[in-house]
Chains A and B, each alone.
Chain A
Amino acid sequence: MKSPHQVLLDVQHVSQQYALPKPSLFAKAGHIQALKDVSFQLTAGKSMGIVGESGSGKSTLARLVMALEKPTQGKLFFNGNDLNALPQDQLRIARSDFQMVFQDPYGSLDPRQKVLYIVTEPLHSTLSSGSGQLPSTQDLKDRATFALTEVGLRASDLDKYPHEFSGGQRQRIAIARALITRPSLIVADEPVSALDVSVQAQVLNLMMDLQDRFGLSYLFVSHDLAVINLMCDDVIVLQHGQVVEAGSADEIFQRPQHPYTQALLAAIPGLSQ
């Protein structure tokens, strides 16, 4: 458990460039600046929303925070550790403290594995590298049962395959998988965008309940401003890889300063009347 007000995630001047394919053999390869000088801090137990349109760098930022990529510039500190300076084996252990939930509940669960394996997989990968003893089969099962019950599924679901579940239930399985290592941070990249309205409400409520119960932080990526407003304390607005506005969610949604934020808010359908 982290003490309150402690900085959990500290992103310092992060930039990310991707090389484009060379147009011809001798031509110089171009670059895409996916992120440019992005900085923010996330306090333990709080939630940060990342808003922007496709191509704005939201998902790149999520991948950097998950240490799935190295930034071309800048640093990311998680619990005071420089994520990109940690040796591989320590990074692996550190990973148990930050987990991810993806957008597509159909693509993000291995169709050939049973729920028990899917949900406990983060334990295998974070504990098998020396420091921790891999728990016994019974222990794994108990922890998986606990995680499933937390997300509103049943122990009997452990022996089923993903195709036996609806989209909302699959997203619950993905959340259970993220919860099983008891992380302090969950990076959620459009976690409810693929879900129907009534299912979305159930999953959002669940995520808020889990936050209250476990003191989690969310880094919540979404194009839906109403969802961000509900789930997050603070928001950063990305446009073309740059932060154009940052602040408390209330402030930004009630008094947007940057024209781009204003345009995003004005584009929400159904608000004009």
Chain B
Amino acid sequence: MTPSNTTPLLSVRNLRVGLQTSHGQLEALRGVDFEMQRGDTLGLIGESGCGKSLTALAIMGLLPERATVSGSIALNGTDLTQLSDEALCTLRGTRMAMIFQEPMTALNPLHPIWKQIAEPLQLHQGMDLVSAKARALELLERVQLPRARERLDNYPHQLSGGQRQRVMISIALACQPDILIADEPTTALDVTVQKEVLALIRQLVAEDGMGLLLISHDLGLMRDQVERVMVMYGGAVVESAPTKALFGMRAHPYSQGLFAARPQLGLKRGTRLQTIAGNVPEIFNWPQGCAFADRCAYVQDNCRQALPQLELVPGTHDGIDENVADKSRRVNAHWVRCPEWQKLEASA
């Protein structure tokens, strides 16, 4: 299949991932659907164990060996789940790239940074060492590493956390990928450094027209960085909306709880935060239906039987093609996986 204007950059359909655990084979992703075009910025938000990193790893083809995948992940129309390891290796680094949370462990401590940037260039583009080094310098200058020329021969330990993350970004961008996946890229950094690195990512993504899939637990960060957010809980996307719409109104009880639990500047000293009753269930305790059912004040019997259907939240229909039957494909729609969301809205 050749990419065309109608082929989305990335199309994830009914993605299910099973993991081998001490409790047997368990489904850790329970049908994730979304679509991205070039230039789209999409955020995945949720708490530990909800499946956001697993979604990223599944797209990159980096799941643990005994994981099972069903559904489809199409990049420019090519289904990645059907590719051989070799073919996937070629796409990884050239068409899609990933930045991880901890730049110290993601970089190789034994090689100078220029070699690590040159590696994908030699591997994927057949560059010789001299031109790869020259390109490495250009890339380091592009990610605004101060005194880039002197730093080419530095080792990771000689750089600060923020500088290392810039190096990671330059490696990810080396082969000009179509999509950049950033998994908590600034969580290990100080706030002022985080601000600079996020601005850099935003700028580079806009310049190259890449798709950005940003994973974070930080709601405030999402607000600044992405146009659309998906909230995940218990291996499923429970709500998806343009960022503005989501910050205006949360339709899912979990999204509401998550937003309300944040401490925000301006709260009076000693104000008790709103909490969500109960705890995030372990994967082997996930209910058959909605994973949030046991903590939800609005739970119905049906919620416990099967994952609830998607429902559209009206009022955010700008530019949505009503003819697309599959709600998850209406990219600008605000949808929620909760049959009771209207009661929620009424009580809010």
Contacts and interface: CB of A to CB of B under 8 A. Distances in A.
Interface of A: 53-54, 166-169, 196-202, 204-205, 208, 223-227, 229-233, 249-250, 253, 263-273
Contacts of B247: 273
Interface string B209-228: 00000000111111111000
Contacts of B218: 269-270
B279 A269 contact: no
Contacts of B269: 229-233, 249-250
Given A196-B47, A233-B269, A268-B220, A204 B190 contact: no
Interface in B152-192: 161, 190-192
A232 B194 CA distance: 25
Interface stretch (B105-113, B260-268, B296-304, B315-323): B260-268
Contacts of A250: 269
Contact of A205 (B191, B225, B266, B272): B272
A53 B190 contact: yes
Contacts of B217: 196-197
A168 B261 CA distance: 14
Nearest to A229: B265
Contacts of B224: 269-270, 272-273
Given A53-B191, A269-B218, A201 B274 contact: yes
B48 interface: yes
A266 B198 CA distance: 14
Contacts of A253: 265-266
- The residue in A167, A208, A269 that gathers the most chain B C-beta atoms within 10 A of its C-beta is A269
10 contacts: A197-B219, A198-B258, A201-B262, A202-B275, A208-B272, A229-B269, A230-B263, A267-B194, A271-B265, A273-B247
B270 to A, nearest CB: 6
Nearest to B282: A166
Contacts, number: 109
**Chain A contact residues: helix, strand, loop or mixed:** helix
Interface string B5-42: 00000000000000000000000000000000000000
Given A205-B275, A232-B269, A226 B264 contact: yes
Interface of B: 47-48, 161, 190-195, 198, 217-225, 247, 257-258, 261-267, 269-276, 279-280
A205 B220 contact: no
A270 B220 CA distance: 4
Contact of B279 (A166, A223, A226, A272): A166
Contacts of B191: 53, 223, 264, 267-268
A270 B276 contact: no
B265 A268 contact: yes
Give the top 8 A-B pairs by smallest Cβ distance, nearest first. Answer: A270-B220, A201-B261, A196-B47, A201-B273, A53-B190, A269-B220, A269-B221, A267-B191
Nearest to B267: A230
